[in-house]
Amino acid sequence: MISQIIFFILLFSAVFLFSKNARKIYRNIKLGQPLNRSDRPGERLKLMLLVAFGQKKMFKKPLPAILHLFVYVGFCIINIEMLEIVIDGLFGTHRILSALGSFYNFLIFAFEWLALGVLVSCVIFFIRRNLLNIYRFKGIELKDWPKTDANLILITEILLMAAFLFMNAADYSLQQQGAAGYHEAGAFPVSQYLSAMLPESANTLVFIERFCWWFHIIGVFAFLNYLPISKHLHIILAFPNTYFSKLEPKGQFTNIESVTAEVKSMLDPSIPPPSGEVARFGAKDVHDLTWKNLLDAYTCTECGRCTAACPANITGKLLSPRKIMMDTRDRLEEVGRNISKNGTFKEDEKSLIDSYITREELWACTTCNACVEQCPVNINPLEIIVGLRQYAVMEESQAPSSINAMFSNLENNGAPWKYSQADRANWANK
Ligand code: SF4
Ligand code: SF4
């Protein structure tokens, strides 16, 4: 009975803490500017099923994609086992779902192979990330906490899978011995071999089985509450993030409505100029980005596929689209903590531009969209870059001198080049 009470307290605390942190993330995302992404639901659902559920974009690199698929499918399916653990934990039963008979045996059989697949994949990922010289696992933004975070996730998954397999191994041995409370249930294609490594004493086996059971469930509860502070949050947010993807062609930029209206009115005096003040042109801080940009920031897996494809980064510029997303998330978290502390946002003399993302990074971008194309969860770092640039140009009149020269040419000559308007068509005479 005591163990059931302890289990209930742990379960309740884990769910309570997770929902509290999830609400904070939701509040932070809602700080963004409105954006309508509720159109074409069928197309969106298809995209989500292909990209998030089907991992379509991951398969541009088959080896990591297959390993990731093992981890993803394995981790999701093995968590069906959690259902049994929760029922057993609450009611003090043991392998309650074994009443399903041969179907239960099939489930445990499949779980064991998947657990082994997850474990082996995580070991390979750990070696790739830490020992092999892979470009996208390097970069100034992947030092300190992000590196620790990635390794912690892999180590936790390895430990959870090992606990699952050793729990089954001890259970299998106890079943073979006919120990009280351990009736024959399940098929153990992997753990039956591990059981040879365990002692024969029934008491020790019960201790190992119970230890692994508690370790596994406490580990899962802890992991659930680790998600909100980790890049691993993508296992949940990848689904809404792909559903709310931009459906228009990548090269189609979003114009600032008030500017478009102003220009139209200048070109055609019959169109009245827009009324009302515009709060801000472009984005200075996270509040000025759209909620989708903020959801993107929380969804980023820090995989670095965007940075590895970025021509600016490859040619040694300071820009890394992965860092743009990580900086946006860090700033958003900072703003969120500020709101939690003060009830409303209290000015802190910081902003996303300058305090987190430098002008040098912003102006290194070629707007090529390679990062957007590569991202396996349809994140768009370019929208954030363009928003920050719009702020620099339109609110501060600050742009690199080469761009200012182009602006002057556009204003004076109607073209980006330094020719008079009368010479604009000369190229056609050649
Ligand atoms: S759009 Fe900018 S950030 Fe993205 S890959 Fe191209 S140059 Fe890099
Ligand atoms: S933006 Fe996308 S591609 Fe880039 S690191 Fe994040 S998840 Fe990976």
Per-residue pLDDT tens for 85-135?
888 888 888 888 888 888 888 888 888 998 898 899 999 989 988 888 788
Is 42 within the bounds of a domain? no
Alpha carbon distance 278, 396 (integer Å): 15
Q: For ligand 1, pick from 319, 360, 389 the residue to mutate: most ligand atoms within 8 Å of CB.
A: 319
Domain count, the chain: 2
Q: Do residues 224 and 277 both lie within one domain? A: no
pLDDT digits (tens, 9 = 90+) for 127-181: 988 888 788 888 888 888 888 888 999 999 899 889 999 999 998 899 888 887 7
Q: Do residues 338 and 384 both lie within one domain? A: yes
pLDDT for residue 71: 82
Alpha carbon distance 94, 88 (integer Å): 6
Q: Is 364 in the pocket of ligand 1 (CB under 6 A)?
A: no
Q: Do residues 285 and 373 both lie within one domain? A: yes
Kindly write down the DSSP assignment for every residue of 329-340, as one continuous string. HHHHHHHHHHHH
Ligand 2 geometric centre to CA of 23 (Å): 24
56, 66, 76, 147, 269 from 62: Cα distances, Å? 11, 6, 21, 24, 57
Tokens of 132: 């092999």
Q: Determine contact, residues 43/237, Cβ cutoff 8 Å.
A: no
Q: Is 310 in the pocket of ligand 1 (CB under 6 A)?
A: yes
Atom of ligand 1 nearest to the CA of 309: 5
Q: For ligand 2, pick from 140, 322, 328 the residue to mutate: most ligand atoms within 8 Å of CB.
A: 322
Q: Determine contact, residues 56/50, Cβ cutoff 8 Å.
A: yes
Q: Which one of 213, 243, 273 terminates a domain?
A: 243
Please report, for the domain that includes residue 380, its CATH number: 1.10.1060
Is 155 within the bounds of a domain? yes
Q: Is 335 in the pocket of ligand 2 (CB under 6 A)?
A: no
Residues of the chain with pLDDT under 50: none
**Which ligand is closest to the CA of 376, given by its number?**
2
Ligand 1 geometric centre to CA of 331 (Å): 21
Long-range pairs of 84-88 with CB within 8 A, sequence gap ≥ 24 = 85/213, 85/216, 85/217, 86/11
pLDDT for residue 64: 81
Residue nearest to atom 4 of ligand 1 (CA): 371
Q: Do residues 293 and 163 both lie within one domain? A: no
Q: Do residues 173 and 309 both lie within one domain? A: no
The residue range of the domain holding 346 is: 257-420
Residue nearest to atom 6 of ligand 2 (CA): 300
Q: Do residues 267 and 164 both lie within one domain? A: no
pLDDT for residue 216: 87
Ligand 1 geometric centre to CA of 309 (Å): 8
pLDDT for residue 13: 92
Model confidence, pTM: 0.87
